[in-house]
Amino acid sequence: MDLKLKNKTVFVSGSSKGIGFETAKLFLEEGATVIINGRTEKSVKNALKKLNTPKVSGIAANFIADKQIDELIKKLPDIDILVNNVGIFRGKNFYDETEKDWKDHIQVNLLGGVKLSKHFLPKMIKKNWGRIIFVSSECATLVPGDLLSYSVSKASVNVFSSGLAKLTKGTNVTVNTIIPGSTLSEGSKIFLKEAAKRENKTIEEVESNFFKDVRPSSLLGRFAKVEEVASTIVYISSPLASATNGASVRVDGGSMGSVF
């Protein structure tokens, strides 16, 4: 299938690793021009080296610092597709979560995408084509007790994205949210490794226990591969997905269990 992305320019936040990196890689395979992002020059440089094509460039910016998002916006060229993928995740008991944990989750997971959308949506509407994608999480509706600030930030992403889509009425611009379930990204690999060490178990045992005890609702019963999430992001970003707007598209392995 030709996804018709060859003349498109894409920015993917948080794309030096994980789902974002794989998304950038798939866009490049489809012939798009891609700008990647990570917190440091070093991590961006490493990712660019791995992608190894003149069609990719990178901008370091830490979304925790609002000023760095402003600088990022100044450096970005005109883009056709904005993928708000960056997300942080700190698992903590509610009583241990600090005010900073709450603010950081909202800042990185929600407000960065709000600022980028405010800048790029009017430009997309003016040229009558564009895609804005938000990456949420199954936690937006599962709301685990040890992930309250993360879950709230992700639920607010779904709400914001749905409202933003309404501003595209009558145009060829769409705004959609992708909802991954547990996915084997770099972040999850670190989580599994640390849990295995802490519990004196193998990584396979930790993964199997995770789906038995923590995500029993998962139909997939394993971590999704980053490719499985990235391919959905790239399809929904493509001209082929023109009739999907204001949607929340689940790649949750069935864990959320809802009909719609």
Ligand X SMILES: NC(=O)c1ccc[n+]([C@@H]2O[C@H](COP(=O)([O-])OP(=O)(O)OC[C@H]3O[C@@H](n4cnc5c(N)ncnc54)[C@H](OP(=O)(O)O)[C@@H]3O)[C@@H](O)[C@H]2O)c1
Binding flags for ligand X, 234-253, as an x/- string (CB under 6 A): --------------------
Of residues 8, 17, 105, 131, which one binds ligand X by CB under 6 A?
A: 17
Phi first, then psi, for residue 124 (nearest 5°) are -65, -45
* Nearest residue to 233 via CA among 22, 68, 60, 7: 22
C-beta closer to ligand X: residue 167 or 214: 214
Question: Does 151 engage in binding with ligand X (CB under 6 A)?
Answer: no
Candidates 28, 51, 108, 124; binder of ligand X (CB under 6 A) is: 108
Catalytic member of 134, 150, 210, 235: 150
> Is 95 tagged catalytic?
no
Nearest to 110 by CA among 128, 87, 132: 87
The yes or no reply on residue 210 touching ligand X (CB under 6 A) is no
> Residue 89, interface with ligand X (CB under 6 A)?
yes
**Contact call for residues 133 and 86 (beta carbons, < 8 A):** no
Q: How far apart are CA 136 and CA 140, in angstroms?
A: 7
Instruction: Identify the residue among 56, 180, 237, 241 touching ligand X (CB under 6 A).
Output: 180
Strand order from edge to edge, sheet including 9-12:
56-60, 33-38, 9-12, 81-84, 130-135, 173-180, 248-251
Q: Does 16 bind ligand X (CB under 6 A)?
A: yes
Does 113 participate in binding ligand X (rule CB under 6 A)? no
187 scored as a contact of ligand X (CB under 6 A): yes
Q: Which tokens hold the place of 242?
A: 């023109």
Nearest by Cα to 245 from 155, 156, 144, 132: 132
Site string for ligand X, 120-139 (x = CB under 6 A): ---------------x-xx-
Measure the CA–CA gap between 181 and 165, rounded to whole angstroms: 23
- Site residues for ligand X, window 48-87 (CB under 6 A)? 62-64, 85-87
231 binds ligand X (CB under 6 A): no
Beta bridge partners of 248: 177
Q: How far apart are CA 191 and CA 228, in angstroms?
A: 20
- Single out the segment in contact with ligand X by CB under 6 A; choices: 15-23, 124-132, 232-240, 241-249: 15-23
Active site residues per annotation: 150
Provide the binding-site residues for ligand X, judged by CB under 6 A: 14-20, 37-40, 43, 62-64, 85-89, 108, 135, 137-138, 180, 182-183, 185-188
